[in-house]
C-alpha cells in the first residue's frame, strides 16, 4: 500500500505538468510562520523539493524527514547542501517518527493517501509528537462542488491507485479530523481555484474527540 517508488523519478514532473507551480506555492505559503531554531517534522515530503524552500528561510532549523518510499527519500537526500539546516532522514512511516516533541509538523498532500481509520491513527500519532502551541502546516486537496474539480480528484485517485497501490480512493475532509484531534485552525488560504488548501493548525489543550482504539 502507498508505494511511491515507481513514480518517484517522475513525480515532480507530473505534478508540475498538471498543476503548474500551485502544488509548491500552496505548501510553502505559510513557511514564514516557522521560527528560527525550530525542531521540525516533515513526513511524506516526497522528493524533498520543499527542503529548498525551508532553506531559503535562512534560519537555523533542525529537521526530521520521514518518508516511506526509499526512492523518494534517496531523491530528497540528494538535495542541498544546506548550510543552516540539520536534517535527519528516516526511511519509514508515522510509526518511525523519532520520539521527540516538535515545534512544527509539515505535511503536504500526505493526509490524502489514507483511508479514514488509518488517517485517524496517523493524526493521533503525529499530534502526540507536537509541542503544546506547536504548529502543524497542512496542505492538501479539498472537496468542492465544482464538476471538473470532482473529476480531476477522481482521476488522481485512479492514477495513484494504479501506480502506487494507494490505500485510499476518496478525498476526506481533513479539517474535521484535525480539529477533532484537538487542533485549532488559525490561518487558511485556498489555491488552484480553491481545490487545494493550505492551513496552519495550532495544538491546544482541548481533549481530542476521537476514542482511543
Ligand atoms: C502524494 S505524495 C506527496 C509528496 C510531497 N509532499 C509533495 O507535495 O510533493 C505522498 C508522499 O507520502 C509518502 N507516504 C505515503 N504514506 C506514508 C507514510 N505512512 N509515512 C510516510 N510517508 C508516506 C509517499 O511515499 C509520498 O512520497
Ligand 1 and 68: CB distance under 6 A: yes
88 burial (CB, 10 Å; 0-12 / 13-18 / 19+) is exposed
Atom of ligand 1 nearest to the CA of 72: 27
Name the residue with the closest Cα to ligand 1, atom 14: 44
Which pLDDT value is given to residue 176? 95
Of 152, 153, 151, 197, the C-alpha closest to 176 is 197
The residues, any chain, with a CB within 8 Å of residue 116's CB and separated by 6 or more, are: 172
* C-alpha of residue 72 to centroid of ligand 1, in Å: 8
- Residue 3 within any structural domain of the chain: no
- Does the pLDDT value for residue 207 go beyond 70? no
- Does the pLDDT value for residue 143 go beyond 50? yes
Atom of ligand 1 nearest to the CA of 96: 20
Name the residue with the closest Cα to ligand 1, atom 18: 93
Which pLDDT value is given to residue 133? 93
* C-alpha of residue 185 to centroid of ligand 1, in Å: 22
Of 103, 9, 28, the C-alpha closest to 62 is 103
- How many structural domains compose the chain? 1
In the sheet where 39-43 sits, what is the strand order?
85-91, 61-67, 39-43, 102-108, 130-141, 196-203, 183-191
Ligand 1 and 69: CB distance under 6 A: yes
Ligand 1 and 45: CB distance under 6 A: yes
Which pLDDT value is given to residue 213? 46
- Residue 38 within any structural domain of the chain: yes
CA distances from 142 to 22, 149, 204 (A): 14, 10, 24
The pLDDT confidence band at residue 204, using thresholds 50, 70 and 90, is confident
* C-alpha of residue 173 to centroid of ligand 1, in Å: 18
Q: What is the mean pLDDT of the chain?
A: 94
- CATH number at 144 reads 3.40.50.150
Phi then psi dihedrals of residue 209, to 5 deg: -90, -10
- Residue 99 within any structural domain of the chain: yes
- Residue 75 within any structural domain of the chain: yes
* C-alpha of residue 45 to centroid of ligand 1, in Å: 6
- Residue 147 within any structural domain of the chain: yes
- Residue 211 within any structural domain of the chain: no
Q: Which residue has the cell 502507498?
A: 2
**Which grid coordinates belong to 160?**
495513484
**How confident is the model over 29-46, as a mean pLDDT?**
97
Identify each DSSP E strand in 9-157 by its residue range: 39-43, 61-67, 85-91, 102-108, 130-141
Ligand 1 and 46: CB distance under 6 A: yes
Rg (CA), the chain: 16
Of 114, 12, 167, 7, the C-alpha closest to 71 is 7
Residue-number span of the structural domain to which 141 is assigned: 8-203
**Which grid coordinates belong to 180?**
477533532
- Residue 111 within any structural domain of the chain: yes
- Residue 108 within any structural domain of the chain: yes
* Number of residues assigned to the chain: 213
Q: Read off the pLDDT of residues 70-96 as tens digits, 9 standing for 90 and up.
A: 999 999 999 989 989 999 999 999 999
* C-alpha of residue 46 to centroid of ligand 1, in Å: 5
- Does the pLDDT value for residue 129 go beyond 60? yes
Amino acid at each position: 500500500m502507498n508505494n511511491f517508488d515507481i513514480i518517484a523519478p517522475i513525480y515532480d514532473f507530473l505534478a508540475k505538468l498538471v498543476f503548474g507551480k500551485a502544488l509548491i506555492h500552496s505548501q510553502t505559503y505559510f513557511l514564514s510562520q516557522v521560527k528560527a531554531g525550530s525542531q521540525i517534522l516533515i513526513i511524506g515530503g516526497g522528493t524533498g523539493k520543499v527542503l529548498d524552500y525551508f532553506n531559503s528561510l535562512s534560519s537555523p532549523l533542525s529537521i526530521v524527514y520521514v518518508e516511506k518510499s526509499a526512492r523518494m527519500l534517496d531523491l530528497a537526500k540528494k538535495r542541498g547542501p544546506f548550510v543552516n539546516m540539520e536534517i535527519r532522514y528516516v526511511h519509514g512511516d508515522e510509526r518511525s517518527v523519532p520520539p521527540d516533541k516538535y515545534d512544527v509538523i509539515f505535511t503536504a498532500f500526505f493526509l490524502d493517501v489514507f483511508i479514514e481509520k488509518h488517517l485517524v491513527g496517523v493524526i493521533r500519532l503525529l499530534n502526540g509528537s507536537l509541542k503544546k502551541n506547536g504548529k502543524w502546516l497542512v496542505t492538501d486537496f479539498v472537496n468542492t462542488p465544482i464538476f471538473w474539480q470532482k473529476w480531476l480528484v477522481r482521476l488522481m485517485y485512479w492514477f495513484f491507485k494504479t501506480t502506487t497501490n494507494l490505500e485510499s480512493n476518496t478525498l476526506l475532509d481533513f479539517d474535521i479530523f484535525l480539529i477533532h484531534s484537538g487542533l485549532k485552525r488559525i490561518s487558511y488560504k485556498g489555491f488552484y481555484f480553491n481545490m487545494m488548501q493550505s492551513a496552519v493548525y495550532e495544538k491546544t489543550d482541548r481533549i481530542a474527540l476521537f476514542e482511543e482504539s
